[in-house]
């Protein structure tokens, strides 16, 4: 949602923020007027004055933003703001899931005297960051070649399983990226071999429905581990005393200290390959499929050694589509800020 107030000030500042349940990162962004983000002209984009605050230290979003504006002496500037936030933004009233912060977008803009204010979903921000990524901010997995100006897809196992797509559009002769988001992580999981079928059966015993998010997330890793424990050693072993957290599972798999953890992480990587390939087919993502989120960057080499890419490409008669599409892991630590910068600069 975007609203505007009249521009009463001479100088303009672009203010961006990435608002999470624990931390909020606020910064300023500038770019030369001739830069075209849709064409990848991002060399001179400058994100500066980055500050990170703990949300619990402030009573509201307005308080922390006002603090930043005061500390950075921005009160006399015309401020265009774009904030990425981890919750729905299609209504004026925003209620954060993991914080007691509730506010009206219009009232927030008026209180802070912002020239314009745009809230975007955090996954929209991550998607918008992709065209700005350098080779140092991503890692390619397997073959395929990105085609400029073609659809880009991103998915990200984390607390949940986010999905978004970028499509190129032309507005008044100006090239831009438009993000189409949805709830792709909640589509029905499809097992492709016997062990995955057994895992699905286990999860169906404790859940009403098995979506891809039930496997491709932090708690998804834990559920895969519990399923394999049950399959290998029986019900009496799959108890609370034998549960491992997602971080423990990945750590044990990487260092080779637990064979069951290795089986868990391998199955996770393979299922992720199939899921990402499905997304590539849906959108014909010849611009590439990107893996985001806080989980996968921890085990890039493990993913490379898995069947991730083989499963991504294994789409029968239409395998030529996925074979041509490249896959990447996003390693940039601040994709939310970068995406908010892209959004506000091309607006």
* Residue 300 annotated in ligand binding: no
* Residue 22 annotated in ligand binding: yes
* Residue 19 annotated in ligand binding: yes
Q: Is 296 helix (H, G, I), strand (E, B) or coil?
A: helix
* Residue 187 annotated in ligand binding: no
The rounded distance, in Å, linking the Cα atoms of 216 and 213 is 5
Beta strands 2-4 and 174-181 are: unpaired
Exposed e or buried b per residue across 255-272, where buried means at least 16 C-beta atoms within 10 angstroms of its C-beta = eeebebbbbbbbbbbbbb
The rounded distance, in Å, linking the Cα atoms of 249 and 225 is 8
* Residue 85 annotated in ligand binding: no
In order, the DSSP letters of 49-95 are: EEEEEEGGGSSSHHHHHHHHHHHTT-TTSEEEEEEEESS--SSSEEE
> How crowded is residue 235: how many other Cβ atoms within 10 Å of its Cβ?
8
* Residue 17 annotated in ligand binding: yes
Residue 113, by phi and psi: left (phi above 0), alpha (psi -120 to 50) or beta? left
Write out the binding residues.
Answer: 17-22
Binding region for ATP: 17-22
């Amino acid at each position: 949602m975007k609203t505007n107030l009249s521009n009463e000030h001479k100088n303009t500042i672009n203010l961006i923020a990435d608002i999470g349940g624990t931390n909020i990162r606020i910064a300023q962004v500038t770019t030369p007027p001739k830069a075209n983000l849709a064409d990848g002209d991002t060399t001179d984009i400058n994100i500066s004055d980055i500050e990170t605050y703990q949300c619990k230290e402030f009573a509201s979003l307005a308080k922390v933003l006002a603090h930043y504006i005061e500390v950075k002496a921005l009160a006399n500037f015309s401020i265009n703001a774009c904030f990425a936030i981890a919750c729905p933004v299609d209504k004026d009233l925003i209620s954060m899931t993991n914080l007691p912060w509730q506010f009206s977008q219009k009232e927030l803009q008026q209180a802070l005297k912002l020239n314009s204010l745009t809230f975007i979903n955090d996954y929209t921000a991550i998607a918008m960051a992709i065209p700005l990524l350098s080779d140092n901010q991503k890692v390619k997995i397997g073959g395929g070649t990105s085609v400029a100006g073609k659809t880009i897809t991103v998915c990200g196992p984390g607390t949940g399983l986010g999905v978004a797509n970028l499509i190129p559009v032309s507005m008044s002769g100006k090239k831009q990226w438009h993000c189409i988001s949805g709830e792709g992580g909640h589509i029905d999981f499809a097992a492709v071999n016997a062990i995955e079928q057994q895992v699905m059966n286990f999860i169906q015993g404790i859940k009403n429905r098995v979506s891809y998010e039930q496997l491709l997330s932090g708690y998804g890793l834990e559920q895969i581990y519990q399923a394999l424990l049950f399959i290998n050693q029986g019900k009496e072993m799959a108890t609370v005393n034998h549960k491992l957290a997602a971080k423990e599972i990945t750590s044990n798999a990487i260092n080779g200290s637990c064979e069951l953890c290795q089986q868990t992480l391998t199955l996770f990587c393979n299922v992720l390959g199939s899921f990402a390939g499905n997304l590539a087919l849906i959108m014909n993502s010849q611009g590439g499929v990107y893996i985001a989120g806080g989980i996968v960057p921890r085990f890039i080499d493990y993913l490379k050694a898995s069947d991730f890419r083989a499963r991504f490409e294994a789409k029968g008669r239409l395998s030529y589509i996925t074979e041509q599409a490249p896959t990447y892991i996003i390693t940039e630590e601040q994709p939310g800020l970068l995406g908010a910068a892209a959004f506000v600069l091309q607006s």
